[in-house]
Amino acid sequence: MWPHDRINADIVQVLKTAHSIRSRLEAMDGSNAANWCLSGCCEGTLIDRTRIVISNRLRKKLKEMMMDFQAMQQQMMVEYRETVERRYFTVMGEAAAEEVIERIITNSESEGMVKTTILEYGPGKVVEMVQAI
């Protein structure tokens, strides 16, 4: 499994977990409304307000965590793009066009590009190219 694929799988897992948490929060809201039927838990009572405050705080915390996750995800993509650009330059000896970098990222060719170069030219040639840079 390529590192890029593993990262994508982790991202999907985080999004599934966030969706599950959001569903649980919605269920808590329904439970809060259902508790209004109980004696002493009418709408606006201390117990009701406490449950609502806790639900809202959890919802806010989830939103903050998802915003942090999105920022981290964007930073990872920027860093991965820079890594692909460096690898391309190391292997080809020239800077790549934007569409070439996009194609490499989309097709997860970055790791294969370095491996192919090592197989074709041997590890010594790759080391020489890196030292020349």
Q: Where are the alpha helices (DSSP H) in 93-109?
A: 98-106
**Mean pLDDT score, 38-47:** 75
Distance CA 16, CA 72 (A): 17
Question: Is residue 127 scored above 80 in pLDDT?
Answer: no
pTM of the model: 0.64
Which of 1-5, 37-41, 118-122, 127-131 is least confident? 127-131
Q: How many CB atoms lie within 10 A of CB 88?
A: 21
pLDDT in tens, 46-58: 888 888 899 899 9
Task: Check if the beta carbon of residue 96 is closer than 8 Å to that of residue 85.
Answer: yes
Question: Is residue 107 scored above 90 in pLDDT?
Answer: no
Domain that holds residue 90: 3-132
| Residue 103 confidence (pLDDT) | 82
Sign of CA dihedral 81, 85, 86, 91: positive
pLDDT in tens, 62-78: 999 999 999 998 998 89
| Confidence label for 133 from pLDDT (cuts 50, 70 and 90) | very low
User: Among the ranges 81-85, 90-94, 115-119, 120-124, which has the highest mean pLDDT value?
Assistant: 81-85
Sign of CA dihedral 37, 38, 39, 41: negative
**Mean pLDDT score, 17-46:** 82
Domain count, the chain: 1
